[in-house]
Structure 1
Amino acid sequence: MHSKSSSAAPHDWPIEPVDPSLAPQFRSRIDGKAKPLGALGRLEDLAVQLGSIWHPQPPRTKRATMFVFAADHGITAEGVSAYPASVTAAMVATYLAGRAGVNALARASRVDVRVIDAGVDADLPAHPGLIDAKIRRGSRNAVNEPALTIIEACDCLARGASIVAEAIEAGTDIVAIGEMGIGNTTSAALLLHRLGRIPLADCVGAGTGLDEAGIARKLAVAERAAARSDTTSPLDVLAEFGGYEIAMMAGAVLGSAMHRRPVIIDGFIASAAALVAVRLRPAVSGYCVFSHRSAERGHDLLLQVLGGKPYLDLGLRLGEGTGAVMMVPLLRAAGAILTEMADLSDVMAGTLEPWPADRGQD
């Protein structure tokens, strides 16, 4: 069991907002590089964000870690998914074997993968790649009662933050978050509905591949859950409708911001976790990098609520953190603009120093 946890809410956690006054300074630096103004497009925006997060240090991007948080959902008993809950544990075993989609894409992107048991409904054997942070064997059925207790929600936030903090202390420069949990698109849809004030019908999508009849059934289930509570407080909403993996991802976002590291957000469910974190502590928004636009219904609206502009649009809807790991090379490229690219003034003056042959690439 992961040892660092607390039942305290995150209201007093030391999170400093990214200083907006730094943006013009970094924009001026980038404008002075050996290129036409704006020629690197949105990579320049990413470089400004990365530089502002790391200021006054130069950005580091060598070590990136994908944290895949896994848990089961009691609401799955209502038939909201095309797959049984047992798939969650089976996929965790696949991640640990290094054979899932996120593993393949992470290897291609030079990203480490850590898997967190936040609340899988199974007794998982110990594994060096698995962090045991289990709260309970699956959340409760949100149709009938709160999915999490307030204490459990706070504990998840603290555990997610401490897991990230330990990785950062061990040298992680870039945090990325992803998830696995059959039924969690229903949970994420409910979070978006309540925290984003979006009609539930616009939040509920196909998830793992439901047909129209399945989506209609899923919406009806979500409506029953939503009717049970009218709370709008972010912590209460998380407890009523969230999941253990979603709550720990929200904690991971908060923890990344506390330690001034960029956190790459994956798709619909990870973005719902980011929404919880932003509602709890608005200052974390400056640390979030929204990797891609998911094909899941509701993600566009969720990104609009968060003010996030994704960098990739590939029609992905797998989850697992697959979109987030593909964002890591772009974040490294943005950092290289600041740390490796020559200034135009040096080029024109003929004072350019060659890049050291022994430096290679990080």
Structure 2
Amino acid sequence: MELLQSTLQAIQPVNKEIMKQAREKVDALCKPPGSLGKLEQIAVQLAGITEKLELDVSNKAVISLAADHGVYEENVSNNPQIVTVMQSIGFAKGFTGVCAIARAAGAKVVSVDVGINADLPETSGVINKKVRYGTANMAKEPAMSREEAIRAIEVGIEVANDQVKQGVNVLATGEMGICNTTASSAVLAALFGYDPGEVTGMGAGVDSIQHKIDVIRRAIEINQPNPDDPIDVLAKVGGLELGGMAGVVLSAAANRIPVVIDGFISTVSALIAYQLEPKVKDYIIPSHMSEEPGAKIASELLGLEPMLNMNMRLGEGSGAALAFPILDAACSMMNTMTTLEESNQYMQQIMENQRS
């Protein structure tokens, strides 16, 4: 609890004065004002986050947190739970979807066990930060205790802080956990009063969406999570990896670096962080619009518009990694484009040289 509290206290607003200077610089570049659209917005946001006009996001890391879910017992996924183990090790070894995209973007993937329902071999390369062996079945009892929920958030903070100490200057959130769309839909419904039918989709595959909806509805009815207390909601119907990703978002804001969020599950986790400290919103860069029906709702609640629509729903942090080159382009625009005034001076110099 102490780490969570100190992290929340460390989060400061983005620097509005630097953002004003960045906007003036962007508008003065050799182009029609606003013609580079969201790229300009990203550059201004990065300036406010880092308090610098010379932008750099060259040291990238996707933190993919993995955990299992007791609600698996309710047959809300067609996939065997062992997939969580397989993919987590795959993150560490570099052969999953997010790894392929991250490699192309020049980013590393950090694989973390925050609650896998198995012991991984020491040679797996996965960082062991296990809080417990998966959550309990939220359709019968709380997914975890309040203390465990806080610890899951602090795992995300610890891992992110460690990456920042190693020189990482932009983070992304990723996850792995069979049934974590079930937990994400439950958190979204419980936090904001939606009926589970409005925010629940197929996830990685389920025989009956209606059954999945009914399980989520039962979990909320049994546990009665308090919508005014995001930690209570996380503990009763959430997941350990959701808590971990919320912690990554909080750490990024406390360390004044941007954090790119992936799709539905990452956005719900970002909402948990936002409910704990609203100032984190200005440090978040949304990547893509997931195919999950709750994704659009979650993004609207966060007040952020994803920049990509690629019909993706893999998770893992794949969409966030795909967005990294857009941040690079925003930095290059800010750092290397000439202003209109500089361009005019350059052309005048050329004309003078020709006349002489």
Mark yes or no: TM-score above 0.5. Answer: yes
Shift of 1:128: 7.1
With over 3 angstroms needed to count, the CA separation of the structure-2 counterparts of 1:279 and 1:247, relative to structure 1, is same
Q: What is the aligned partner in structure 1 of residue 308 from structure 2? A: 312
- Output the amino acid matched with 1:169: K
Say whether the 8 Å CA contact 1:66–1:175 is kept in structure 2. yes
Q: Which structure has the highest helix share of the two?
A: 2
Q: What is the aligned partner in structure 2 of residue 324 from structure 1? A: 320
**Is 1:117–2:117 an aligned residue pair?**
no
Q: CA RMSD in A?
A: 1.8
With over 3 angstroms needed to count, the CA separation of the structure-2 counterparts of 1:127 and 1:218, relative to structure 1, is same
Say whether the 8 Å CA contact 1:51–1:338 is kept in structure 2. no
**Is 1:145–2:141 an aligned residue pair?**
yes
Q: Which runs of 4+ in 1 moved over 6 A?
A: none
Say whether the 8 Å CA contact 1:147–1:240 is kept in structure 2. yes
Shift of 1:95: 2.0
| TM-score for both structures, normalised by structure 1 | 0.92
Say whether the 8 Å CA contact 2:225–2:237 is kept in structure 1. no
- The residue correspondences of 1:233-244 to structure 2 (distance < 5 A) are 233-244=229-240
With over 3 angstroms needed to count, the CA separation of the structure-2 counterparts of 1:44 and 1:12, relative to structure 1, is closer
How many equivalent pairs are there? Answer: 347
**Aligned-residue identity in percent:** 37
Gap regions ≥5 residues in structure 2: 350-356
**Is 1:224–2:218 an aligned residue pair?**
yes
- The residue correspondences of 1:105-254 to structure 2 (distance < 5 A) are 105-127=101-123, 129-211=125-207, 214-228=208-222, 229-232=224-227, 233-254=229-250
Gap regions ≥5 residues in structure 1: 354-362
Q: 1:281 aligns with which of 277, 283, 290?
A: 277
Shift of 1:337: 1.6
Deviations 1:183-232 (A, max 9, x none): 10010001111223322111110001234xx1011001001001021411
Shift of 1:333: 0.8
Say whether the 8 Å CA contact 2:22–2:53 is kept in structure 1. no
With over 3 angstroms needed to count, the CA separation of the structure-2 counterparts of 1:105 and 1:82, relative to structure 1, is same
Say which SS state the counterpart of residue 350 (structure 1) adopts.
helix
Say whether the 8 Å CA contact 2:8–2:277 is kept in structure 1. no
**Is 1:32–2:28 an aligned residue pair?**
yes
- Output the amino acid matched with 2:238: G
Say whether the 8 Å CA contact 1:7–1:152 is kept in structure 2. no
Shift of 1:347: 0.8
Say which SS state the counterpart of residue 298 (structure 1) adopts.
helix
Deviations 1:216-274 (A, max 9, x none): 11001001001021411111111111111110100010000000000000011111100
Deviations 1:57-82 (A, max 9, x none): 63211110011100000011101111
With over 3 angstroms needed to count, the CA separation of the structure-2 counterparts of 1:98 and 1:253, relative to structure 1, is same
Q: 2:64 aligns with which of 58, 64, 68?
A: 68
- Output the amino acid matched with 1:44: E
Q: What is the aligned partner in structure 1 of residue 260 from structure 2? A: 264
- Output the amino acid matched with 1:272: V
Distance, in Å, in 1 between the alignment partners of 2:16 and 2:131 is: 38
- Bigger radius of gyration among the two: 2
Shift of 1:335: 1.3
